[in-house]
Amino acid sequence: MSATALPPGFDPAQIPPGLAIAQPMPDVLPPVKPRKGFIGFVRRHPTMAIGGFLLLLMLCIAIFAPYLFTKDPTALAPALRTREPSARWWFGTDMLGRDVYSRVLYGARVSLLVGFSVAILASVIGLFIGIVAGFNRVVDSIVMRVMDGLMSIPSILLAIALMALTRGSVQNVIIAITIADVPRVSRLVRGVVLSLREQPYVEAAVAAGTRTPVIMFKHILPNTLAPLTVQATYVCAAAMITEAILSFIGAGTPPIIPSWGNIMAEGRALWQVKPYIVFFPAIFLSITVLAVNLLGDGLRDAIDPRLAKRL
């Protein structure tokens, strides 16, 4: 091999005089190797890492609530009511003498349960409705009119109205918030489906005679999952806030179950003199919602880096 790499069958003698053959560029710059492993992930997606960490922390608190030096969150002690936070009661006690620290920790269970359940249920139902509506004109025109109608009722009011029909229970709260969120999710999925249908690979599948259900669920569905996942995190965050609001105004989780909204509702009457009863659940709620929102922002940026630069 000579110094100049020539294509095979190419005689250097045939090169006209005065023409130089460009030397291949040496690899001056080493290729960019993204750092692998945990630290690399944290560096590339700091928002997702922070959000994920905080959410994991809350999840641990919810799961291990009984072992984190808590007392029975419903145990009454009227003689020891409204004690300020101290070494004995870390977050103080409420107007019935219950330990606020224990109640706040157990409250994480309700919030996370409602947030995750609503996110999963609304995504699955919205995905199904959106895909079917994106493929069937008749279904589309009927279902989407209904969804437009439901969407023009502010979602908290819709959830309040539905809760007025039923008894307060965690299950009913989840159902009410899911119904209020499904229209938005199905609109999103329908939009994505309509744009995906124009893609060449879908046209190719149609041309190849693939049956419609196969196109819907094998070719289209996987491509809706990325935007749907991002949307699901926002639904989750909004659902946790809605649950707290419903409980706060007395139309949500029954008072016997400690949820952050309930604790705040009970602390409301005394908040000017004993603000800590309201503030501790408020801080926990805000951190959890922030964690989910950060996770969502991080996911969105990771899925669509082009958007990340702008939004």
Partner 1 sequence: MWAYIVRRVVATIPVMAIVALFVFSLLYLAPGDPAAVIAGDQATPEDVERIRASLGLDRPFLVRFGEWAFRIVQGDLGVSIFTNLPVVTMIKQRVEPTLSLMVVTLCLALSIAIPMGVIAAWKQGTTIDRIVMGVAVLGFSVPVFVVGYLLAYTFALELDWLPVQGYTPLSEGIPYWLENLILPAVALGGVYIALIARITRASMLEVLSQDYVRTARAKGAGQTSILFVHALKNAAVPIVTVVGIGFAGLIGGAVVTESVFAIPGLGRLTVDAILRRDYPVIQGVVLLFSFVYVIVNLAIDILYTVFDPRIRY
Minimum Å gap between C-beta 13 and partner 1 is 53
Q: Which of the ranges 87-95, 126-134, 190-198, 283-291 carries the binding residues for partner 1, by CB under 8 A?
A: 283-291
Report the residue from 21, 68, 146, 204 that binds partner 1 according to the rule CB under 8 A.
146
76 touching partner 1, by CB under 8 A: no
Q: Return the number of the residue (215 or 284) whose C-beta is nearest partner 1.
A: 284
248 touching partner 1, by CB under 8 A: yes
297 touching partner 1, by CB under 8 A: yes
104 touching partner 1, by CB under 8 A: no
Report the residue from 105, 220, 235, 278 that binds partner 1 according to the rule CB under 8 A.
278
Among candidates 65, 48, 77, which has minimal Cα distance to 111? 65
285 touching partner 1, by CB under 8 A: yes
- Report the alpha-carbon distance of residue 5 to residue 299 in Å, rounded: 46
- Report the alpha-carbon distance of residue 163 to residue 98 in Å, rounded: 27
Task: Go through 111-149 and write b for each residue having 16 or more CB atoms within 10 A of its CB, e for each that does not.
Answer: bbbbbbbbbebbbebbbebbbbbbbeeeebeebbeebee
- Report the alpha-carbon distance of residue 100 to residue 226 in Å, rounded: 39
156 touching partner 1, by CB under 8 A: yes
275 touching partner 1, by CB under 8 A: yes
Q: Return the number of the residue (145 or 218) whose C-beta is nearest partner 1.
A: 145
- Report the alpha-carbon distance of residue 51 to residue 294 in Å, rounded: 5
Residue 26 vs residues 8, 22, 30, 32, 66: alpha-carbon distances, Å: 21, 12, 10, 16, 63
Residue 205 CB neighbours (<10 A): 18
Judged by CB under 8 A, the chain residues 180 through 239 that form the site for partner 1 are: 237
CB 251 within 8 A of CB 142: no
Report the residue from 9, 28, 272, 305 that binds partner 1 according to the rule CB under 8 A.
272
- Report the alpha-carbon distance of residue 112 to residue 108 in Å, rounded: 6
Q: Return the number of the residue (121 or 162) whose C-beta is nearest partner 1.
A: 162
Q: Residue 22: what residue type?
A: A
46 touching partner 1, by CB under 8 A: no
Among candidates 282, 184, 300, 185, which has minimal Cα distance to 240? 282
Report the residue from 40, 46, 66, 250 that binds partner 1 according to the rule CB under 8 A.
250
Q: Return the number of the residue (66 or 149) whose C-beta is nearest partner 1.
A: 149
Minimum Å gap between C-beta 273 and partner 1 is 10
110 touching partner 1, by CB under 8 A: no
Report the residue from 58, 104, 289, 299 that binds partner 1 according to the rule CB under 8 A.
289
Give the list of residues 6+ apart from residue 296 with CB closer than 8 angstroms, or none: 51, 230, 233, 234, 237
DSSP 99: B
- Binding interface with partner 1 (CB under 8 A): 145-146, 148-150, 152-158, 160-161, 163-165, 237, 241, 244-245, 248-251, 264, 268, 271-272, 275, 278-279, 282-283, 285-286, 289-290, 293-294, 297, 310-311
